[in-house]
Copies of this chain bind each other. A is one copy, B any other.
Amino acid sequence: MGLTKTEIFTLEQNQISSIAKVFGHPARVAILQHLFKIDSCICGDLVDEIGLAQPTISQHLKELKKIGLIKGNITGTSICYCIDKENWTTMKTTLTAFLDQDLEDSNNCC
């Protein structure tokens, strides 16, 4: 096994978990925070900023790119990464809807 049974879940459930999975590693959280902090985008400074090897950072960037949260621009030999604001907003809407479930009345028996 080790394989998630995605087929038995709704599209929404799979979308939420896919997004959350990407946030499920501190390095990726750190990368996103850094990209937000440095207004203009930054490339391999991430390797220095975060204490992981270059291939590891590259791998994390790939996952962030795959889900569409960041995008990269080639500038000379380096690559300039930054947050994809539009997709970030869409993602936030999906995730917030999930997080705000508790707003709908509901009691608690425990």
Contact = CB atoms under 8 A, between A and B. Distances in A.
Nearest to A31: B13
Contacts of A57: none
A80 B108 CA distance: 11
B109 A73 contact: yes
Interface of A: 4-6, 8-10, 13-14, 16-17, 20-30, 32-33, 36, 39-41, 50-52, 71-73, 80-85, 88-89, 92, 95-96, 98-102, 104-110
13 contacts: A13-B30, A16-B23, A17-B25, A17-B28, A20-B22, A21-B24, A36-B101, A41-B110, A71-B110, A73-B110, A80-B110, A83-B108, A96-B96
Contacts of A22: 20
Nearest to A28: B17
A102 B73 contact: no
Contacts of A32: 101
Nearest to A81: B110
